[in-house]
Amino acid sequence: MKIKILAELEKMKNRRAITKAMIVGGLALLLSCSGNKEKRAEGAAPVASIPVDTVEREIPPCKRLKISTSGALPIKSLPVVETIEFPDTTEYFIGVPSCVEVRGDTIFAIDSSKAPGFYAYRRDGSQIFAYTSTGQGPEDFMVLRNLNVTDTELSAFDDGLCGIFIIDKNGDFVRTVKCPVYSLAASISDAGDMWVDFSNFDGMMDDIKLGWAPPGGRPDSLVTVLPIPEHLKGIYASGIRPLVRISANEWIFTPSFERYVYTLKDGKAYPRYELDFGNLWWDDEKMSKMAHSNDWAVQLQDFPIQPMYIQENERWFVVGFAVNRDKRYVYVYDKLGGDSRTFIDHPRKYLHPIALDCNDLFMNCVDNSNLEVLRLAD
């Protein structure tokens, strides 16, 4: 099924910032209009192209995961094997890492709020480059979310642009790709196909929640991959990283306020995990009643499980979440062994699980911009 974006929506695009309610990691983000231009670290060498796994994978059946906070272990029981510090000695340095990708000795990151920009560091903390050109110029961005690292480029969804902002691995501007009005997240692959998350905005034709454009396809004419669930229609919200690329042509998608995590591949979506939080998750009837109220954005603040963050690699599936915006937990599922554990972060030390690399879980710290690396298994 093809959809066309209504001309009336295009006319409304300048009102996006005040008409949509967006929840990003439980924090309100304001659009930045400052004019800092990019600065490259002194003597920084170009970043080598890092290949992404291209092995074809079978689509696994949907697995139900029961997530309980009862008997949670203290997160300090996981050994800290490394601390990565980002010094403030460079002219432009990261404030709060929002999304991180680890590629060998290189750490790619975006900061969505404190010091907006793209950043690349070595694991010893030395900076490779920083791209911090905020504003409304042709090579400027406003608010970055949903980092994506391909073989040759870094990209992120720019909420102010309503499109994908792309730089190369030398830290140089490449291009922007405009997305349809009312997009809340989008990612593009090396091949050029694109996934676009509209959340549950009920002004879209065909009630599209997630759309896909094939390589060479137009971003304003998308294939409907997932429709909006009836009980969520009108709840217009997105997390900091709903789309995570796990191989060259495979993604996982975590829709806001849904129990399911999806596999995305070749223009189709498959339920991957059902997250069972028991009584902590509101039933469909309650969600529907809230969605159809005039103050749903206010009521949504009482939703028990938020914010929620997902990470996954070959062995591990990790869910970071807060219960009633208070205590923070990290659920870890071992896909090889089939067992799971839940850890409690109290008193709070970390923001959320931000990256996985083999058996190492990267956590960003509350009190500074450091990353601590926790070892999940030897």
* pLDDT per residue as tens digits for the range 38-81: 444 444 434 433 334 444 557 779 999 999 999 999 999 999 99
What's the DSSP call for residue 14? G
pLDDT of residue 44: 41
Q: Which amino acid is at 78?
A: L
Check if the beta carbon of residue 143 is closer than 8 Å to that of residue 29. Answer: yes
Which domain, by its residues, includes 245?
Answer: 2-27+67-375
Which CATH number covers residue 81?
Answer: 2.120.10.30
CA 252 – CA 185 distance, rounded (Å):
13
Strand order from edge to edge, sheet including 250-253: 63-66, 268-276, 260-265, 250-253, 243-247
Is residue 117 predicted with pLDDT exceeding 70? yes
CA distances from 137 to 37, 41, 303 (A): 11, 23, 38
pLDDT of residue 59: 78
In a domain, residue 108? The reply is: yes
Query: Nearest 10 degrees: CA dihedral of 283, 284, 288, 291?
Result: 70
In a domain, residue 39? The reply is: no
- Beta-bridge mates of residue 131: 118
Question: What are the residues whose beta carbons fall under 8 Å from the beta carbon of 351, sequence distance 6 or more?
Answer: 25, 96, 363, 364, 365, 366
Domain count, the chain: 1
User: Bigger pLDDT: 236 or 41?
Assistant: 236
Check if the beta carbon of residue 208 is closer than 8 Å to that of residue 195. Answer: no
Q: Which amino acid is at 79?
A: P
Give CA angle at 118 (115, 121), nearest 5°.
Answer: 100
Check if the beta carbon of residue 212 is closer than 8 Å to that of residue 222. Answer: yes
In a domain, residue 149? The reply is: yes
* pLDDT per residue as tens digits for the range 283-311: 999 999 999 999 999 999 999 999 899 99
* pLDDT per residue as tens digits for the range 323-339: 998 899 999 999 999 99
Check if the beta carbon of residue 144 is closer than 8 Å to that of residue 132. Answer: no
Question: What are the residues whose beta carbons fall under 8 Å from the beta carbon of 70, sequence distance 6 or more?
Answer: none
User: Bigger pLDDT: 195 or 207?
Assistant: 195
In a domain, residue 59? The reply is: no
In a domain, residue 265? The reply is: yes
Q: Which amino acid is at 184?
A: L
In a domain, residue 34? The reply is: no
Tell me what the pLDDT averaged over the chain comes to: 86
pLDDT of residue 60: 76
In a domain, residue 109? The reply is: yes
pLDDT of residue 14: 38
pLDDT of residue 27: 36
| DSSP string over 258-292 | -SEEEEEETTEEEEEEEEE-GGGSPPHHHHHHHHT
Dihedral sign for Cα 119, 120, 122, 126, please.
negative
In a domain, residue 107? The reply is: yes
pLDDT of residue 218: 80
Is residue 204 predicted with pLDDT exceeding 80? no
* pLDDT per residue as tens digits for the range 78-93: 999 999 999 999 999 9
CA 295 – CA 302 distance, rounded (Å):
12
| DSSP string over 116-170 | -EEEEEETTS-EEEEE--BSSSTT-BS-EEEEEE-SSEEEEEETTTTEEEEEETT
Question: What is the average pLDDT across 253-266?
Answer: 95
* pLDDT per residue as tens digits for the range 3-41: 333 333 333 343 333 234 344 443 333 223 333 444 444
